[in-house]
Amino acid sequence: MIRELRQLWEQRASRRAFRAEPIARAALVELFAAAQRAPSWCNVQPWRVVVTEPPRTKQLADAMVAAARAGFPHAEIPFPLDYPPPYKEHRVACGVALYQAMGIARDDKAARYDAWLRNYDFFDAPHVAIVACDRRLGPYAYVDVGVWLGYVLTAAAALGIDTCPMASVAAYPDALRAQLPIGETDVILFGLALGHADDAAPANRCRTTREPVEANVVFC
Ligand SMILES: Cc1cc2nc3c(=O)[nH]c(=O)nc-3n(C[C@H](O)[C@H](O)[C@H](O)COP(=O)(O)O)c2cc1C
C-alpha cells in the first residue's frame, strides 16, 4: 500500500495548463466525497468549498484577470513578505524550475507577468474550487484545511484528475465574493484548478524536488 501511495505522490505534480474538457459532475462529487474523510481537530470539518463548472469558470476567470490587472493584491490572510533560509532557496528553485520549463528568461519581466497572470484564468482549467474556512475558528482550522487539501490532491491523482493549488487567487477576495456564494464569516484561503492537463504545454514539464527527510524530521 505505501509503495502505491508513494508512487501516486511521485507522479502527482501541480499542472499549469489544462485542456478544455470538463470533469463529469459525478467524478467531482466522488473526489470531494472521498476527501470528506480528512481528519480535523474535534472533527469540525471547517473547509468551505465552492466549485465552478463551465461556463461559470470562464466568467470567474475573466473577473479575476480583470481584478489582477487593475489592483494590488490584498489577501485576507497576509502573504509572507520575506522567506528566510532555507525557505528562500526552495522558493527560488521552484520559480526557476517553472520559468525554465516555460522558457522564460530571468530578466524577461513581461513574460513573467504573463505567467503570473495565468493564475487568474486558472491555467484554462474547466473547474476551480475556491476554498475558505470559518475565520472564527482561528489558525488550527487552517491546519485542518491543509490536511483536507492533501486528501483532495491525493484523491484527485488517484482519479486521474489534474490539479494546481493557487494561493494567488486569494489575493483578490472582492472579485471572488462578487461572483460566488462565500460567507462573510469565511476567510478565503486558496483556489484549486481541476481538469485534465495539457501534457504538451511547456509549463507542465516543470517538476520540483524535495529535501531528504533529515532536513525536516528529527528523531531524538
Ligand atoms: C497552499 C498552496 C498554494 C499554492 N499556490 C500556488 C499559486 O498561487 N500558483 C502556483 O502556480 N502554484 C501554487 N502552488 C503550487 C506549488 O508551487 C507547488 O505545490 C510546489 O511548488 C511543489 O510542486 P508540485 O506541486 O509540482 O509537487 C501552491 C501550492 C499549495 C500547497
The C-alpha cell at 143 is 491546519
Tell me the per-residue pLDDT of 144-176, one tens digit each, with 9 for 90 and over. 999 999 999 999 999 999 999 999 999 999 999
Average pLDDT over residues 8-23: 98
Average pLDDT over residues 91-103: 97
Q: Provide DSSP, 18-37.
A: B-SPPPPHHHHHHHHHHHTT
- Residues in the chain, how many? 220
- Asked, as a colleague might, if the bond just before 202 is cis with ω within 30 of 0, I would say no
Buried b (16+ CB within 10 A) or exposed e, 99-111: bebbebeeeeeee
pTM over 0.95: yes
Cα Rg of the chain, angstroms: 17
- Ligand 1 within 6 A of CB of 101: no
- Please report which confidence band the pLDDT of residue 13 belongs to, taking 50, 70 and 90 as the band edges: very high
Q: Which pLDDT score is estimated for 31?
A: 98
Residue with CA closest to ligand 1 atom 31: 165
DSSP state of 196: -
- Ligand 1 within 6 A of CB of 91: no
Q: Which pLDDT score is estimated for 120?
A: 98
CB 152 within 8 A of CB 31: yes
- Ligand 1 within 6 A of CB of 156: no
